Structure 1
Amino acid sequence: MDLIQELGLEVYPQFTEGKKVHHMGGANAKISTYTSSIPSFSPLVLLDFVHFMWRLTQEMELCTRSVFGMEPSQLSFLYFLMYSAAAGGVMRLLEATPGSAQEFRVKGGTQQLSERVAEQLGKENVRLGSAVTAIWQREETVEVKTTMSTITCKAVIVTCPPHMAAQIEYRPALPLERLRLARCMPVGHMTKFIITYPTAFWKQKGFSGEIVAHPSIHCPFGVTFDATSPSGSPALVGFIAGVQACYWNSREMEDRRDAVVSSLVKYLGPEAASYIHYEEKDWAKEEYNGGCPVNVMVPGMLTFYHPGLRKPCGRIYWAGTETATRWCGYLSGAVQSGQRAALEVLADVSPAVLSPSELQEVRADLTRAPSDLSQVWDCNRGSASSSRFLIGLTVMAVTVGGAVFLLKPGLGENCLSRVLAVIQK
């Protein structure tokens, strides 16, 4: 947001008013609508949800202190969720809420950020069509070899995704931890589509345009949002991701389009069939991306190799959204990582231009490392806390169930057995 204001761009809020569609649990599950931040869960599901959030908070406190070397308050809760496989559904539910990644949209598109920064640098200094093939470090300089020329400089910032950075030749070779990061951080698989309509019929029918669905062989997408332009051109945007992207991208574009449209008809009504244009983007086909939206660490990598993700290798510095300490995987994280890497280079080649606080910030970040990995393996504290919570929950359930049992024996037995079954599960 700071960069947007600095460059003089405008934003407008993501439209979220109205009913949201929720369809999880398979094709035959009930389609429900809601207007709050989360769907209307049953009391037992809400209890499980609260317990999940509590457990996640406990794990976050352990993870941030032992692995990241910082207090929990310094680490965005949503950033932590990015690394929790169990929280995928929660991320979908929170994406368009206030304070989240989808709260605002940029008028004219986010590509303007790159274009205006390029203007400040001087477009003649931005060399397109020059893929980097090798980075050779000398005693006091670095040689960057591209398909068009060789550039000699004092330092290099590599911002491409880790798996793409691994395709560059480095001399001397990169440290082992950096190579493992590059080879063990697969990128996601996602296709984005936008459908334009003559009218925003979903708004007229009281819908927000937000759909959270369980993808299947009939419904390709997992989530959609309103994408109406600032000028009022109605549109919906959605994403086909993960396994479903692999399945549906092996089909013809017309098959995907027809399946998307028929699913929108199912959720929003017959008006969804009368569209103007369907456009899609399969990021796996991008030569210098290879996927979307972000590289993720396989199990174990976050614990042992996370510090190496940002640690400079000689005169080579690392940026990109995967290296961000806040909003990892998002545009905001990419901007933050670029600012951090720029400070690191200045601290090395021209420290006089930085303030004492900026130098201190750079040095603190470079020296941050896991404080004591033994804490990662010590599960006693978490288990004990979890046990105490479950014991208290059991006592509460037995008390409530007993009271109901005394009033209505048949109902009481049924209620108590259900509660105990959930706790046991």
Structure 2
Amino acid sequence: KHLEKFAESSPEDYLWCTHPAAALAMSEESCDVVVVGAGLSGFSAAHLLKKRQEQWKVLVLEGKGRVGGRTLTQHLPAAHGEDMWDMGGQWVSSSQTHVMELIRELGLEVSRQFTEGKKIHHMGGANAKIRTYTSSIPSFSFLALLDFIQFLWKIERLCKTVSVEDPMTTPNAQQLDSMTLQSFMDRHIWTTGKPPALKQAVDRSGGTQQLSERLAEQVGKHSVRLGSAVTAIWQNEDHVEVKTATSTINCKAVIVTCPPHMADWSPCVVVNPLPYWSLSQHSNDIRMAFWKRKGFSGEIVARPSEDCPFGVTFDATSHQGSAALVGFIAGAQGSSWNSRELVERKDAVIASLVKYLGLEAASYIHYEEKDWSKEEYSGGCPVNVMVPGMLTYYHAGLRKPCGRALSPPFSTSRIYWAGTETATQWCGYLSGAVQAGQRAAVEVLAAECPSVLSESELQKVRADMNRAPQALQHLTGVSSHRASHFRLFLYLAVMVLTVGSVLWLVPEYGQY
């Protein structure tokens, strides 16, 4: 079906597909490295490999008929023809250094997320008051605000004790692993006000899928094979065999970037597949951004219910100025709503937008949904999640290359792992995908041609492979201790200013 999809493509695009003649007989070929998955993590790995070893032959194999993985930019109807919107990962932030550096390297631009105006907060159920606020967080009562500040303080202190590379060295690691975020909040938050969600403040122009498309151009389209799902990977003493439906590829190393729950193991490495966070995304294209004219930002935070499918919406006005709102249907409520018909979800979404923003929301041009749980070779979005207790037993297998524990006869690892689930920074985000792909590429280079790496890169790889608990103590030395004192002073100053502001001003509430 991938071949049919691309049968009418231009010759240049057709190079991305497996040629029909290849299906007539199994072929065998060789290359240096195979990357499984043509998403952002896979292309980040392939790109770095080609930068350091230009003469290497690197093949990127993808089961889908497109590149981009969990990013997808679609052309949709707009007020003045068509425009582009992201239906997958789409936000980046200045603190996400890996993806921001990649954006700069590729010569792409970012556009700032529109947040000006009143935001809507409706978390108490159908009969609760609909409130508005203009700050970065909703208006809480005095006690709830103090509670929220002390909770952030506890989280910050806890973060200082955690090694993201080896989290089980954290004090009370098993106890923390046995808790959900909700149970942790229930234990440490005393008031009933809900803490706000965090968001990234920077959007990107032209869609996030173009990150993978630009990287594919630099790696070489002839090295990218769509419709080429990997069916098996066999590691021998001196090479790896990668099998697809039409070919067997022999290589020095393989980097696997597919979501962990999509991989089958023999012998079993991870006993239970990781569950996915179910998420559907909807986009409403509207003739004009009426919410801006009415003083709203387009941001709505609501408790999903039988009447309202989404939990949050944002302004998604395109770089070309086409007005749109984007929302997310996720979690348990998402599972309930996803079992219903499209027209029922659409009617409920529009009715909720009318309730929060006004009758103008009913005059939309187009409604589009993307259910990532039904996406082939992804099986969900945005990221695999571990249920309580899983980290204790399976975290070590997420990033550790295969083969090291199998010697003899294997002398080195030849199967490496990437994907945003394996990231140690911004896990689950675009930046995490970039970091994980680059880290896996460096691991391959360290094993196959260490001379192209700097001494610091080699030391980092050795530390990752042979990490001792003392490494955490080294990282959190005197400088971190001084930083914690500074942050304590900062939190106390913020608390004093907050108390003074609350006593001086009455919190501003509004109702639509």
The TM-score, its normalising length taken from structure 1, stands at 0.77
Which SS does the other structure have where 1:218 is aligned?
coil
Q: State the Cα deviation string for residues 175-198 of structure 1 (Å, max 9, x = none).
A: x4xx13xx2521110000110100
Distance 2:330 2:301 in 1: 13
Q: State the Cα deviation string for residues 310-348 of structure 1 (Å, max 9, x = none).
A: 111121100000111111100110011000000000000
**Structure 1: 5+ residue runs without aligned partners?**
73-79, 96-101, 373-425
2:459 is matched with: 360
Residues 1:222 and 2:311 aligned together? yes
Shift in alpha-carbon separation, 1:8–1:325, aligned structure 2, 3 A: same
Residues 1:9 and 2:108 aligned together? yes
Equivalences for 1:187-202 in 2 at 5 Å?
Answer: 187-202=276-291
Distance 1:122 1:242 in 2: 39
Shift of 1:93: 2.5
Distance 2:210 2:127 in 1: 43
Which SS does the other structure have where 2:395 is aligned?
helix
Equivalences for 1:72-83 in 2 at 5 Å?
Answer: none
Question: Are the counterparts in 2 of residues 185 and 297 from structure 1 also a CA contact under 8 Å?
Answer: yes
> Which of 209, 233, 245 matches 1:111?
209
1:339 is matched with: 438
Amino acid across the alignment from 1:237? V
> Which of 45, 53, 60 matches 2:144?
45
Equivalences for 1:208-287 in 2 at 5 Å?
Answer: 208-287=297-376
Distance 1:370 1:236 in 2: 47
Shift in alpha-carbon separation, 1:369–1:187, aligned structure 2, 3 A: farther
For these two proteins, the number of residue pairs brought into alignment is 350
> Which of 263, 269, 288 matches 1:165?
263
Amino acid across the alignment from 2:203? R
Distance 1:238 1:267 in 2: 13
2:181 is matched with: 84
Distance 1:363 1:68 in 2: 18
Distance 1:197 1:10 in 2: 25
Which SS does the other structure have where 2:197 is aligned?
helix
Shift in alpha-carbon separation, 1:113–1:369, aligned structure 2, 3 A: farther
Which SS does the other structure have where 1:93 is aligned?
coil
Shift of 1:351: 0.7
Equivalences for 1:110-189 in 2 at 5 Å?
Answer: 110-166=208-264, 170=266, 173=267, 176=269, 179-180=270-271, 183-189=272-278
Amino acid across the alignment from 1:156? V
Which SS does the other structure have where 2:225 is aligned?
coil
Distance 2:185 2:452 in 1: 43
Q: State the Cα deviation string for residues 221-267 of structure 1 (Å, max 9, x = none).
A: 00000000011000000000011111111111011011001000111
Shift in alpha-carbon separation, 1:152–1:107, aligned structure 2, 3 A: same
The TM-score, its normalising length taken from structure 2, stands at 0.65
Which SS does the other structure have where 1:279 is aligned?
strand
Question: Are the counterparts in 2 of residues 194 and 278 from structure 1 also a CA contact under 8 Å?
Answer: yes
- The RMSD of aligned alpha carbons is 2.6
**Structure 2: 5+ residue runs without aligned partners?**
1-99, 172-176, 187-192, 404-413, 472-512
Shift in alpha-carbon separation, 1:358–1:91, aligned structure 2, 3 A: farther
2:153 is matched with: 54
Shift of 1:68: 2.7
Question: Are the counterparts in 1 of residues 162 and 170 from structure 2 also a CA contact under 8 Å?
Answer: no
Residues 1:94 and 2:198 aligned together? yes
Shift of 1:370: 5.6
Shift of 1:66: 10
Question: Are the counterparts in 2 of residues 61 and 71 from structure 1 also a CA contact under 8 Å?
Answer: no
Equivalences for 1:268-417 in 2 at 5 Å?
Answer: 268-314=357-403, 315-368=414-467
Question: Are the counterparts in 2 of residues 141 and 155 from structure 1 also a CA contact under 8 Å?
Answer: yes
Amino acid across the alignment from 2:197? L
Shift of 1:10: 1.1
Distance 2:139 2:349 in 1: 25
Question: Are the counterparts in 2 of residues 307 and 368 from structure 1 also a CA contact under 8 Å?
Answer: no
Distance 1:304 1:21 in 2: 41
Highest relative contact order (Cα 8 Å, sep 6+), 1 or 2?
Answer: 2
Which SS does the other structure have where 1:144 is aligned?
strand
Shift in alpha-carbon separation, 1:91–1:51, aligned structure 2, 3 A: closer
Shift of 1:369: 5.9
Shift in alpha-carbon separation, 1:63–1:300, aligned structure 2, 3 A: farther
Question: Are the counterparts in 1 of residues 416 and 440 from structure 2 also a CA contact under 8 Å?
Answer: yes
Question: Are the counterparts in 2 of residues 195 and 276 from structure 1 also a CA contact under 8 Å?
Answer: yes
Amino acid across the alignment from 2:202? F
Q: State the Cα deviation string for residues 24-58 of structure 1 (Å, max 9, x = none).
A: 02111111011111100001212322232233234
Which SS does the other structure have where 2:364 is aligned?
coil
Distance 1:304 1:92 in 2: 32
